[in-house]
Amino acid sequence: MNQSVTATETQAIDHKNFFYPPGGILLWIIILLELLTFGIALIIMAYTSLSEKEIFHETAAKLNAVYGTVNTIVLLTSGYFMAICVKQFKLKNYEKSKRFLYFTQATGLLFIIVKSVEYYHKIAEGLTLGYNTFMDFYWLLTGFHLVHVIVGMVILIGIYISGKKKNHDEAALNLESGAAFWHLCDLIWLILFPVLYLIF
């Protein structure tokens, strides 16, 4: 009996260890690489803007900050729902957890819809990829982020489907992994929004 308790305690301590963050160390290495990729792209963008200040300023003024603001609120709300989902699952309130997972996916879908409407208007205005350097960065950065959101949605759907076949601990670990990736989407957007819509 003592050995069982000791093993359980050791496992609990291990998961608080630096090498066992929520979702596992490998996932966090991927997240850091993703952040590094976006960070390098933004540094290149900032450097490029030094020689094209007027172009960047004039083109950035053509972006609709309302779309960006709405999507910021939507994505932050989605991240909040995701955090509650994980918390409720750990408390074994599975129905509440499932409900907040639905809310997370619904707000994630809303983000995609709003972004698609914004893209539609940009295309209608002729502000497409190749219009100028600023719009090239806009499309590449927001497009790459949108791909992350779509991948995150697929991951969450997969977790929901596979979670029914797994035990609590394994399902909780998978949910934490999905949540970590989802919060990555939040973080990236919180960096992109002010840079693209407000600073230039």
CATH code of residue 40:
1.20.120.80
In this prediction, what percent of the chain has a pLDDT beyond 90? Answer: 60
Domain-embedded: residue 180: yes
In this prediction, what percent of the chain has a pLDDT beyond 70? Answer: 84
Q: Are 98 and 142 in contact (CB under 8 A)?
A: no
Q: Are 115 and 68 in contact (CB under 8 A)?
A: no
Residue type, 126: G
Residue type, 128: T
Helices (H), the chain: 2-14, 25-49, 53-60, 65-90, 94-124, 133-163, 168-193
Domain-embedded: residue 132: yes
Chain segment 33-47, per-residue pLDDT in tens: 888 889 899 999 999
Judged by DSSP in three states, 111 sits in helix
- pTM of this structure: 0.82
Residue given tokens 């969450």 in the structure block: 156
Judged by DSSP in three states, 197 sits in helix
Selection from 178, 175, 184 nearest residue 155 by Cα: 178
- Is the pLDDT at 62 greater than 80, yes or no? yes
Backbone angles phi, psi at 164, to 5 degrees: -70, -20
Chain segment 175-193, per-residue pLDDT in tens: 888 898 999 999 999 999 9
Kindly state the average pLDDT of the residues 158-173: 72
Domain-embedded: residue 38: yes
Domain-embedded: residue 25: no
Domain count, the chain: 1
- Is the pLDDT at 88 greater than 80, yes or no? yes
What is the domain range of residue 120? Answer: 33-199
Structure tokens at 57: 């300023």
Domain-embedded: residue 151: yes
What pLDDT does 21 receive?
A: 56
What pLDDT does 6 receive?
A: 40
